[in-house]
Each structure stands twice: as structure tokens, then as C-alpha cells.
Structure 1
Amino acid sequence: MREASTELLVELPPDSNVTDLLVEQGATNPMHALYARRGSNGWTDIPAQKFLQDVSALAKGLIAGGLEPGDTVAVMSATRYEWTLVDFAIWFAGGVTVPVYETSSPGQVEWILHDSGARRVFAEDNEKVELVRHILDTSAFLKDRLVNVVRMDDDGEAPNLASLAAAGTGVTDAELERHRSAAGLDDVASLVYTSGTTGKPKGCEITHGNFALVAVNMVAFLPELLRQDHARTLMFLPLAHVLARAVQVVCLSAGTTLGHTASAAQLLEDVQTFKPTFLLVVPRVFEKMRAGSARQAAAAGRAGAFGSASSAAVQYSREQDLAARGEGAGPGVLSRVRHAVFDRLVYPKLRQALGGQVHYTVSGASPLHQDDAHFFRGAGIPVLEGYGLTETTAPCTVNTPTRTRVGSVGIPVPGTTIRVAEDGEILVKGIGVFRGYHANEAANAKAFVNGFFRTGDLGELDAEGFLTVTGRKKDLLVTAGGKNVAPGPLEEKIREHSLVSHAVVVGDGKPFVSALVTLDPDGLESWCREHKLPALTLADAAADPKVRAAIQDAVNSANALVSKAESVRSFSVLTAQFTLESGHLTPSLKLRRAAVVRDFEGEIARLYG
């Protein structure tokens, strides 16, 4: 059993709560832009003083409507400025925020409203207002519950934010302060439901201390990101995801100007005008950026030059990493010369694609492939990979600018201890670990051991405290021959191929290991052009011998990583895509493995004759 810890850097009074971070910003720097809001004429700064006033007005409206400290309030919306505004208003009124993914099915919404006991719902627009009302009218659990629904945009007939604020004009500042200060660090600030990759979502009780202590300690831990002059970042992850909420509170504590954008596609457009200094990005965005740059270079007849620039970036970063491990002297002369050439000709275009001002990126939510991390670091866009779960208020380990080990998810954040059990399971104890699952004592009994939260992930700790995640206990396959197979490394290697969008390794209880592969439409178009083939549809490509031969090459590369008993013996190229809408990806773009295995049961059966 190995263990690593980082000492707490900042403590907070036990009777304080997350709202004190906003009060402090309003008092110390009232005209500083805490937020920026995108409109038809560009980005408009929202000073701390203005944000505090608007939060207070909405909170008074909630209090006037009867909200008492500890009451739960649901929020169903895509990422937008109003989400943040409403979140803090709920906290100022003494309430508990219950995030609902805006892509949630009616059944999921019904369960969360029922389980959380929410009697108030903020819904983004008319469509979501009607969805919530329909659920309330038809649900056997909710039809007799009085629930107020407030619309967050300005269209339609439902009560909106302006009318809510107007309703609170009679509430005194003293009454608002009584509600705002009612909670302490140990009280629940948010009931965050797991994404439900398996089973029914469980409500995680995230406390004020979880949010606030993680925030102030991350500011002290990552000053290179958060204490820069004019630090700015864009948030595109769903705010229903705890990582996005935690980062939002971190930015508030640091005074980092935060903008909102609703999707990864919109992110790459908005960075051009917002010009962030750091970004929180999921691995799929890095993969798309790199593949898109390669396709653009190929279309312009510069595939060879981009390939050389890519290999130079990866080599330069790998040599830096070896030096950090004490296994080398750093990039050699030839490596430095090649890197310097491409740093004038190629890499600036990549940096400009992120607005030209990004000094660091932080990767989370799912594993990042090492080659991508080396590529972007070598191109001048350092990637700091981290690790966490909903139950740990997300960040429990992270690489830092001064302590980075590519391939690992970093060292424990302040106030956190990471332990790897004898069976390889990662255990966590610290300031971010949640209070427990809401109204679910059976789940709580299984979730903790000797004060540590059992993550269900498998990992390794090195002598310097860097954690590497090697898989998930539930994902381990056991073949009919009794061989344990971790699918993650195989899937990551197969996905390196430009043709591949997703790979799912299967074989639990089967005589050998197989894989389901989906094709990347953009990658397919570029591959056909590169190989001087006519354009292929996904259906045609799935059966094309040349495409299948290319996928076999990717499978062979993956098989080189493992023993013969663990190797992928057969594969199927699917004509479908794994998407959020199909139910095969979570809102944070993690694969719902159980859903894939269920929905493609017939295809898996054919792989085994």
C-alpha cells in the first residue's frame, strides 16, 4: 500500500461558507470584472459589485417566495452566465443547488426532483419550462408537489429572473444576511447527481467547505494560472458537472475573469474574441484540435511538414519529461533546433487557435493520451492533467507548472491524501471529499473504508507522489480463460488512429477479447483524400477492405502493449456514432460502457460466432 499527501495551505473559519468568497471580492475590488458576458456586440464585463447586487436581488426574491435555509432548488440549463448568477443567488438565500443536465431525459429529471425534494426549478428556456411542467403534471411522485418554475432567459410567459428579483424588494438586507450566513463549512451547498454511467444517479452531498476550501487552496497551489495579471478563462463544460462548478468557485476566489460558452464547438470560436489565459479542456477537444490541424495541413499539401512539426513537438516534450524524472539532460541540440524552427513556422498557428494568450490548459473528466499531452506541450500549450470524481468535488490530484509528469494525473491537491490499496484501488481523503450520498446509507456504507473514499478506479503512485490511473475496477474484463484485461490502454491506443472516433473493448466471460470501433467522419474524409480514394459513407467505410486494414493496423499497435491473452483478436466497425444524444456518452463526454454493451449486444454476439 502506497500513500501520498499534500498539506493544507489555507484554512477557513468553520462558520464561513462559499458566499463569503463573493462578499470579499465585492468589498476588496468592487470594480474588478469577475465575469464577462457575450452579446451581439462582443463581451461585456460584469464587475464584482454589479454581480453581488444582482445575486442579492434574486436571493431576496427566493426568500420572499418562502425559501428557507437548507431548501433544495434545481437548475436545468446549458452553461451560461445566468447559471452562475442563479447558483450564487440560491446560496445567498441559504438554499442548496441541485444541478440537472440540460440534456437529461424526462425520467432522469423526474428522479432528481423526486429524490432531492426540490420545490423550485430554474429552467433555461420555454422548452425546458414545458418539459419540467409536463413531468410535474404526469409524475406519480411529483403531481401533488407544489413546484415553482422560473425561466432563465427573457422569452416566453413563465416567471423570469427579472420578475423574481422584483418580488424580493420588500426583503430587508438584515433578512438576506440571516439566510446568507446560516450555513457553515459542514453544511450542504449542492446536491450533485452522478452521471449515471451505471445504475440510477446518486445525489452527492457537496458541502460549502468542499467548494470553499478547494477554491482557496487551489488558488495558492496554482498561482501561475490563477494569479496572473488579467487572468481570464472560458467555461464550456456543463455547469451541472461538479468540476465546472468547482473551477467556477476557484476563479471567483482568485478574481479570474470567467466567461461562459455553451459547447466545445462554440468554445473554439469564442476563444478568438475572449482571449483566455488558461483553459479547462476535456481530452476530446485536444484530440479534435490536433486531428483538425493535421487535416488542414493535408488539404493545403503540407501534411509532411505538419507531421515533422508534430514529431518534433512530441520529442521535445518527452525529453523534457525525462529530464524532470532525472533520466536525461533535457532536449538535445538537434531537438532544440527542430523545435525552434517549427516554433516560428507551425506552433504559433496552434496557439492562435486558442486565442493566442493561453499559457496553460488543464485537462480533466477523462484520460488524456500521453502523445497528445506531449504534442501540445511541445507546441507551447502546456497541459496539466488532473483527476477527480463527483464525490471529490472533482480535483483531488493535478500536475502543476513546476511539477509535471506526462502520463500521470499529478500530485494530491492541498489538504488531500491519496492511497492505493493492495488491490490497486485509489482511495481519497481530504477537503474535497463529499459528505455522503443523499438518503442512501447502503451506498455510504460501501463508499468509505477507514475514512477514505473508495473511487472504484485503479492506479499507481510513484515514489514522488504522482498518481497514474490505470483503469476502473468495474471495467476490468475477465475472459473465459480467467485472464484479467484492463480495456482502457487498448482503447486509447486504437483511438490514436485518425479514422477512429471511439473504441470499446469487450470480452467479459468470452474466449477472447474483441472491440467495437466507430469511425470519425472528418478523419474518414481526410483519410480517403490522402489515400486517393473516393469519398465513403460511414456504412460503406465499415465494410471497405482498405479501411478495415487500417483499423487492423491500429489494433495491432494496441496489441503490442499487452500479452497475447489480453490482445484484441477481432473487431467490428460500427456505422453508428457514440454521442450524448444516443445515450452512449455522458455530458462530460465519458463513455457509458454499459449502454454500449447493451445496445450493441447483437454485434458483440456476432464477433463470437
Structure 2
Amino acid sequence: MTQTTVEKLPYQSIPQMLQVNAEQYADRPAISFKKSGAYITLNYQQFYSRILMTARGLRKAGMQPGDRVAIFSENRAGWVIADIGIQSAQGVSVPIYATNTGVQAAYVINHSGSKIVFVSDRLQYEKLLAVRDQIPQVEMVISFERFLGERNLPVHTLYQLSEISYPIQEKEKQQIEKQIELIKPEDLITVIYTSGTTGIPKGVMLTQHNMANNAWDGIQLAGKESMTGTFLSFLPLSHVLERTAGYYAVLMGGGHIAFAEEVNKVVENILEVKPTAMISVPRLFEKIYSRIYENVHLMSPAKRQLFHNAITVGHAYIYQKYIKREPLGLLGLKYKIYDRLVFRKIRTRFGGNLQFFISGGAPLDKTINEFMWIIGIPVFEGYGLTETSPAIALNSLDENRFGSVGKPLGDAKFKLSEDGELLVKGSAVMRGYYQDEKATAEAFVNGWFKTGDIAHIDDEGYVYIVDRKKEIIVTAGGKNIAPQPMENTLKLDKYVSQAYIHGDKKPYLIAILTPNLERLIEFGHEKHINYLSVDDLVANERVQQLFAERIEHFNKTLPPYQTIKKFILLPREFSTEGGELTPTMKLKRKEIYNTYKDKIELLYRHNGEGQSAQPQSENGGKNEAN
């Protein structure tokens, strides 16, 4: 990524951008998706034709300018065809997370007033069918896959809507392009309902200018040449990060989007697609880091030493080259040798072509970020919210500080409130919350949007996020503690997969941990532990003692008020299906607390000051740490 001269956005809207690029990059691959075991590719002209057909079908179905149309689907090619098709017919797309229940989907559909709903497959359709009486205004369901629907909720396929057998005629093309010309920058492009860690979802109103300008700012920072490769898309398109950075920006830059089959097949698809870039959330990098170090653990002593030597040299190299900006000399030669012996082999596991990742959605641990740069796949950490389209800060190859979220992007301006909350102004900031004037008014102070994050800004202009304002723990002793940095550090432990820290208005902190099961099972074999299930294994006294020791080691570098006194070890990971994570893998703290409330409160029955960590397994059996 290289800084380029800032140019003014040359488009009025996303559909107009695609219209221009369909001519400029007509034969260049636009999107690829897997069908019957093989990837099918549409070039820009073919992709644009599919968009026009969808817009034609929507208008024939009675959709009017300004109508909201919902998309209830996981990440796939049909999603983007539906989205730009809706916009080209002067509609407003309303994404619904594929992991949502029927009741949750009904809320979004009703609140937005959507009469037409796109679904990916029968699974999503059946969720709607189960709440049919709650969504009486829905007139049409359009599926990306073929199946039979029920009489009280008819379903049509995207092919049927688009009349795929009847190519767009020149007269029809001109009619739709006249509609596209009428789309103004201030028109709504979407209403995105925040997944939220607490409370009822709010509909974030984003305009064409918000999202198109945000995508354009990203291209300006990245450099146009960075956007012309292949991006592997796997995050939910319902989330604004993937939509703006991994979809609009890629098409705007003339790049190619290849859609992963599903999240569980991302590693396999990386090797097939050999992408040049990807958008991700920190959870992927945590797993990459953990898996590589697990493999190192199994190497011979000589190979392990080679790896650790390479990391040491690599750490010095990235700081001298990218932070200090000093000549490399002998250090550059050493890094080249280790790159050939170690890092290049790691990169081949990611297809061999990956030039960079963009990370957002949650904080990325500094150690993991440095590691990715060391192995030669830089991760550009950024920051934003659904309400800011999303990116308002981003690191780059030319300007990067590990641990920060970068400098303000585009025309974003920052300032801090008296209590340290980050406030922002700029073209990326939303119009407001749909049908919620009160929430909109509460979100701003004197024209500045309140991000809800506590931050600090250094002398060079780099922004550092401390934690969510609402998630700052204030202990009974009045100490303010940011849990996210502590949780991220805990996750670096080879035996820990996820961590949640609790202690607001309490005398001390406790943690809920989920184990790295591969490492834990390995530990069980090494110690000859007999167990019937994972539940038995995590409840075993030796396992509980192991985690007590890991926490004791973690506590050594912390002041007494910030140490973890007790913990609960779960036999499974937090998940979106379990309700503990948002679709972008952020902890739903309120849900986690409610789920494990009895066990958490049990750990506070006795004051823990001066005690060492005392574990409790999920089944309630307490095991003393010492």
C-alpha cells in the first residue's frame, strides 16, 4: 500500500461506478463463485448485465424508488448482484445477518418496511416461514437457490426475477441507466441494523456519498495498483467492513472478488484462488498465529531455534524499515536469508500471492500484528463503526504504528471529549438512525459523532483505542480497567482460545476462558489423563491447575487491582450460534454474563483479595488452584 495524490470521487453513486467500470474493464474478471465444484467467473460487462436484469425484474415486481428491500443471506455472489440491482432500481438495501433467527429478521423487515426479501436458500426461507404471521407486509421472497415454497409465502428465484433467458435490450438498458443517473449522492444506499452487543438493533442510514466516498478514500490510501488483484471475500456482506472495503472498493478499483464457499472452507479456498488481499477480523489472525506456533512446537529443536531466530531478526527488521525508516544494511541481508528459509514457506500456505490484509471490527493484538508483518503479509489495522461507513482511521505501508488504528482516513477529523471518548466528523458519518430521532440526537454532540470508544491520539496523529466506553470496568475500589487489552493478552497463551473478563462494581476481576482444545488434548495425553468427554477433561484437577498456573503467570506483570483472582473454564468456544458473539466475533458481554451469571456470582461469594486464581469448571465443580 502506498500513499497517492488524493483525487476527488468521480462517481455520484455505486451503480454509476459500476456502469463506468463495465465499459473501462469490460473483459476483466469482476466476480467469481464456486458452483458444482468449480469456480465460475463473470467479467465486468457480464456482471453489469446481471445487475441490470435484477433492476429490471424489481421494477416489474412493483418496487418503487426509495423502497427498502431486505437481503437475508450469507456472503455469496447473489448478495452483491441483489444489492447493486436494488440500488440501480433506486431502492435501498437492508442487510440481515444470515445467523439471525426468524424473529430477529422479522424485526428488521418490519422496522425497515421491506416488502421484498432476498434469501440465500431454504434455510433462511424457513426462518421467515416460521414468522409469516409477524411479517404480513412481505409480498415477495426471492431466493438465490431453487426450491419449492409454501402457498402463504411464495418464493421466486433470482433467475426468474431477472428473466435470465432474456438479455437486456438496448432500450431497457437506457431506461435503467436513466434511473441510475437520478441517484444522488445524498440518497440512501442502505439501512444497516447494528448487530449490537446490547439492546435493540438500530437502523443506521448510510448514503451513497457515505459509502462511495469511504471506499474511494481507502483506494487513495492503498494506491490504485493495490486494488486490481484478487480479493477473497468471506466475511458477512451484511457487515459494513466487508461491504465497503472488500466489495465496493474492490469493484471501484477494477479488482476481482472471489467468494469463499463458506467460513470453514476459507483455508481451502485461499489455496484455490491464491488471492492478493483479504479483509478480515482479528479472530482469523489469532487462529493463524496459534496454528503456526502449534506447528513450531512439534518441530525438532534445531528447526524451532531457526524459527525463533528468524522471528527475532524479523522483529528488528520491520521496526527499522517501517517504523524508524532507517537503512537496513546487514539486517536486510539477514532478513532475506530467513525469509527464504522460513517465511516464504509460511506464505505458500496462503496461496503465495497475498500482499496484505485489512483488519477491523475489533482490536488486533499488537504481538499478532507484528508477527504478520514479520512473515511478509502486512495487516493494516483500521478503525470504524457501522455509523461511519465504516473506516475513519487506517494504517498503511507508509504510515504504520503497531498497536494503533492508524491516522484519520480521508476527511475524518477527531477530537477527544473530557472523559476520553473519541468524537468524529467527516463525510463517512451516517445521516442518522432510521425512524429514531431520539437515538440520532443522542449520538451527536455539537455536530460531532460519539463513537463510544475511549481513545488517545499521539503527537504524530496516530489513534489508539483503549476500549469501549460502556465496557470499561469500574471495580468496587474505584479502579478503571479496560478489559479488551487484557483479554487479547490472555489469548496469546497457547492453551487459551478466548477470554472474557468481568468485574464491574465488584471487588476483583474474574475470567471465563475457553481452551485451545488441540493443545489441551495434547496436554491430556502427555499427563495420561483419563476422560470420557471434553467436559470431563476441562473439569480435571490437573487441567484446572494448569490454567491456574497460566493465570498466575499472566498476573505477574499487573498491579494487584488488575489481576484475575478466579476463573471459569468452559468446554466449548463462544460462538454466534450460542449468542455470545456478534457476527464480527466481538464478545456480547451482556449475553455472556446472563448465560453464566450463577457461576460468575458464585465466584464473588467470598472476597478474593490476596487469593491466587481459583478455577471453576462449567459443571460447577470447584477445584482449588493450590
**Structural mapping, 1:510-525, within 5 Å:** 510-525=506-521
In structure 1, the residue matched to 2:233 is 235
Cα distance, 1:128 vs structure 2: 1.5
In structure 2, the residue matched to 1:3 is none
Partner of 2:52, secondary structure, is: helix
2-structure distance, mates of 1:99, 1:373? 30
| Contact residue 320 and residue 330 of structure 1 kept, 8 A | no
Matched, 1:284 2:276: no
In structure 2, the residue matched to 1:261 is 260
Bigger mean CA deviation after superposition, 73-82 or 508-517: 508-517
Partner of 1:58, secondary structure, is: helix
2-structure distance, mates of 1:338, 1:530? 37
2-structure distance, mates of 1:398, 1:531? 46
2-structure distance, mates of 1:7, 1:274? 28
2-structure distance, mates of 1:202, 1:388? 17
Match for residue 393 of structure 1 among 384, 389, 392 = 389
Partner of 1:605, secondary structure, is: helix
- 1:388-408: CA deviation from partner (whole Å, max 9, x where unpaired): 111111211111011111111
| Contact residue 4 and residue 221 of structure 2 kept, 8 A | no
In structure 1, the residue matched to 2:314 is 316
Bigger mean CA deviation after superposition, 268-277 or 214-223: 214-223
In structure 1, the residue matched to 2:180 is 180
Structure 1: gaps of 5 or more residues: 1-5
Match for residue 139 of structure 2 among 136, 147, 172 = 147
Partner of 1:181, secondary structure, is: helix
In structure 1, the residue matched to 2:620 is none
Partner of 2:197, secondary structure, is: coil
Cα distance, 1:582 vs structure 2: 0.3
Distance change in 2, residues 1:8/1:567 (3 Å): farther
In structure 2, the residue matched to 1:84 is 80
2-structure distance, mates of 1:122, 1:257? 24
In structure 1, the residue matched to 2:203 is 203
Match for residue 11 of structure 1 among 8, 13, 21 = 8
Bigger mean CA deviation after superposition, 533-542 or 181-190: 533-542
Cα distance, 1:180 vs structure 2: 2.3
Cα distance, 1:536 vs structure 2: 7.9
Letter in 2 for 1:555: I
In structure 2, the residue matched to 1:356 is 352
**Structural mapping, 1:32-43, within 5 Å:** 32-40=28-36, 42-43=38-39
In structure 1, the residue matched to 2:156 is 159
Match for residue 606 of structure 1 among 602, 605, 608 = 602
| Contact residue 528 and residue 536 of structure 1 kept, 8 A | no
Bigger mean CA deviation after superposition, 177-186 or 119-128: 177-186
**Structural mapping, 1:117-516, within 5 Å:** 117-136=113-132, 138-139=133-134, 142-143=135-136, 145-156=137-148, 158-166=155-163, 172-223=172-223, 226-228=224-226, 231-247=229-245, 248-299=247-298, 301-302=299-300, 305-306=303-304, 309-310=307-308, 312-313=310-311, 316-317=314-315, 320-321=318-319, 324-326=322-324, 339-516=335-512
1-structure distance, mates of 2:227, 2:587? 38
1-structure distance, mates of 2:103, 2:309? 48
Cα distance, 1:194 vs structure 2: 0.3
Match for residue 28 of structure 1 among 24, 32, 37 = 24
| Contact residue 514 and residue 568 of structure 1 kept, 8 A | yes
Cα distance, 1:28 vs structure 2: 1.4
Letter in 2 for 1:516: I
Cα distance, 1:111 vs structure 2: 0.7
Distance change in 2, residues 1:84/1:146 (3 Å): closer
Structure 2: gaps of 5 or more residues: 150-154, 606-626
2-structure distance, mates of 1:314, 1:160? 55
Match for residue 62 of structure 1 among 58, 62, 79 = 58
Letter in 1 for 2:300: R
1-structure distance, mates of 2:349, 2:494? 20
| Contact residue 264 and residue 285 of structure 1 kept, 8 A | no
Cα distance, 1:421 vs structure 2: 2.2
1-structure distance, mates of 2:295, 2:187? 51
Distance change in 2, residues 1:598/1:484 (3 Å): same
TM-score (norm 1): 0.92
In structure 1, the residue matched to 2:550 is 554
Distance change in 2, residues 1:161/1:547 (3 Å): same
Letter in 2 for 1:125: D
| Contact residue 318 and residue 374 of structure 1 kept, 8 A | no
Partner of 1:386, secondary structure, is: strand
Distance change in 2, residues 1:47/1:159 (3 Å): same
2-structure distance, mates of 1:357, 1:531? 42
1-structure distance, mates of 2:431, 2:556? 43
Partner of 2:163, secondary structure, is: helix
Distance change in 2, residues 1:385/1:553 (3 Å): farther
| Contact residue 275 and residue 351 of structure 2 kept, 8 A | yes
| Contact residue 580 and residue 588 of structure 2 kept, 8 A | yes
Distance change in 2, residues 1:425/1:561 (3 Å): farther
Distance change in 2, residues 1:220/1:229 (3 Å): closer
Distance change in 2, residues 1:7/1:478 (3 Å): farther
Distance change in 2, residues 1:469/1:175 (3 Å): same
Partner of 1:44, secondary structure, is: strand
Letter in 2 for 1:218: G
Letter in 2 for 1:296: N
Distance change in 2, residues 1:209/1:310 (3 Å): farther
Letter in 1 for 2:212: A
1-structure distance, mates of 2:491, 2:302? 21
Cα distance, 1:456 vs structure 2: 0.5
Cα distance, 1:315 vs structure 2: 5.4
| Greater relative contact order (Cα < 8 A, sep 6+) | 1
Letter in 2 for 1:152: F
- 1:24-64: CA deviation from partner (whole Å, max 9, x where unpaired): 10121211111122234533321111011111011000001
2-structure distance, mates of 1:467, 1:311? 32
2-structure distance, mates of 1:470, 1:332? 36
Cα distance, 1:336 vs structure 2: 5.7
In structure 2, the residue matched to 1:103 is 99
2-structure distance, mates of 1:303, 1:363? 33
TM-score (norm 2): 0.89
Cα distance, 1:557 vs structure 2: 4.4
1-structure distance, mates of 2:336, 2:592? 45
Partner of 2:131, secondary structure, is: helix
- 1:262-286: CA deviation from partner (whole Å, max 9, x where unpaired): 4332111101111111111221111
| Contact residue 153 and residue 160 of structure 1 kept, 8 A | yes
Partner of 1:525, secondary structure, is: helix
Letter in 1 for 2:146: D
Letter in 1 for 2:455: G
Cα distance, 1:548 vs structure 2: 3.0
2-structure distance, mates of 1:7, 1:563? 45
Partner of 1:569, secondary structure, is: strand
2-structure distance, mates of 1:338, 1:607? 51
| Contact residue 237 and residue 263 of structure 1 kept, 8 A | no
Cα distance, 1:305 vs structure 2: 2.9
Distance change in 2, residues 1:110/1:258 (3 Å): same
- How many residue pairs match? The answer is 594
